[in-house]
A and B are shown apart, each in its own frame.
Chain A
Amino acid sequence: MKQTAKAASLSAINLLFFALIGTAVLASTYSLTHERIHQTEEAEKLKLITQVLPPTLFDNNIIQDTLPIPADKQLGTTDVTTAYRARLKGEPSAVVLESIAPDGYSGNIYLIIGILANGEVAGVRVVSHKETPGLGDYIDLPKSPWIKGFDGKSRAIYTDADWHVRKDGGKFDYMAGATITPRAVVKAVNKTLQYYAENREQLFAAAPPQPPAGGKQ
């Protein structure tokens, strides 16, 4: 019995020793890379944002000027998302919203939508989707420029009836054989614009987070 206990505690100490070394290695790797990881992630976010919003339209640090948006039916979101607020010389110029088209051909289509202050679409991009490759995936920019058809459109120039694909009597193109996918995207963009129109004030109103060092905004 004593022998077993001794062997067991020896094993435990051995295991603990390796766990400690492993933790030390991990901790040092983390401290060496986390700064760089953070930078890369922010750069990647900014790259995505500038795809739906020309960088000439804002001069604030858009990555920091964010507002959490609770899950919303109109946006199709089921979780808190982030709105990025673009300002030019302190004036609100545009907002970037995340939105989900829940009725794609296979699963959710995740969108990021840039909306100018006057309600016009600055740009839409598909962040991720599971539509059939080669059929429904023309909503993705590398595959086709279809998604650029939203640029400059707004609920001011198009009525609700226009916000459909041509097959349904609307103004948006689609490709024969794959109507469900563009239908879902058009619907989602329209709903997001609606959401923007109804929540415009709140979206820009909340003061941007102050810089930690008490600097001015």
Chain B
Amino acid sequence: MSAQEFKDILYNGVWKQNPGVVQLLGMCPLLAVSSSVVNGVSLGLATAIVMALSGASISPIRRYVPNEIRIPVYILIIAVLVTVVQYLMNAYMYGLYVVLGIFIPLIVTNCIVLARVEAFASKNAVLPSALDGFAMGLGLTAVLGVLGAIRELIGRGTLLSGIDLALGDVAKDWVLHIIPHYNGFLIAILPPGAFIGLGLLIAGKNWLNLRAEQKKMQGQPVAVTPVEGGCAPASH
């Protein structure tokens, strides 16, 4: 894998084809667990690990799986990997395991995982596949983290609350009370806050893209490309 390829895959996953704000895949956990930075980033990282592992394990077997049964085989492998991650979290990060609850096993059904396996790992070598999965996972983590930060800050006036669940009692004092004596703004924590926050993030990303494009070809009229949606693997 050349350095350029490496950079392209990373750039694709984290920014250009970001699963959270461009491909719009994996909305269910994105909206449900992004009520705080710690929750969002933890589930994002768990997803990134599963995606990297599934990319790495499906790429080497891609030639041996008959085309008709590839989806069940992929799902089987993803489910095994998710369950392994779930066991490990249950054993070593119990607090976080309880908080994330049902959303850990639900990583299996997160369509971004299957989408990347189908669109990338089933056509590429092991290393790029693992990297692609991880980069996509990182992109999702970034969106979850930013969305979590926005919702937590507006909703509760804190950042990093619950960090001790992830890192143990040492981190208990790391919670940042950005706005002291804040009464809270409930809607940001509740589900509508997730939709509004995500909408703002997508708009922000589109605006940045638009600005970059305008800079590139000054004077020419610019057409906004609509965001792809739905649970279908996006081409790239």
Contacts and interface: CB of A to CB of B under 8 A. Distances in A.
A124 B64 CA distance: 59
Given A10-B66, A33-B88, A15 B73 contact: yes
B90 A18 contact: no
Given A29-B83, A37-B87, A14 B69 contact: yes
Nearest to B190: A133
B87 A33 contact: yes
B34 to A, nearest CB: 16
Interface string B49-74: 00000000000000011101100110
Contacts of B83: 26, 29
Interface of A: 7, 10-11, 14-15, 18-19, 22, 25-26, 29-30, 33-34, 36-37, 40-41, 44, 132-134
A7 B217 CA distance: 54
Contacts of A18: 65, 73, 76-77
A25 B80 contact: yes
Interface stretch (B4-12, B131-139, B140-148, B181-189): B181-189
Contacts of B64: 14
Interface size class of B (residues with CB under 8 A): 20 to 34
B77 A29 contact: no
A133 B73 contact: no
B186 A133 contact: yes
B84 interface: yes
Given A14-B66, A15-B76, 8 more contacts: A10-B66, A14-B69, A14-B73, A15-B72, A25-B80, A30-B87, A36-B92, A133-B184
20 contacts: A7-B66, A7-B68, A11-B68, A14-B64, A14-B65, A14-B73, A15-B76, A18-B65, A18-B73, A22-B76, A22-B77, A26-B83, A29-B84, A30-B87, A37-B91, A40-B90, A40-B91, A40-B94, A132-B186, A133-B186
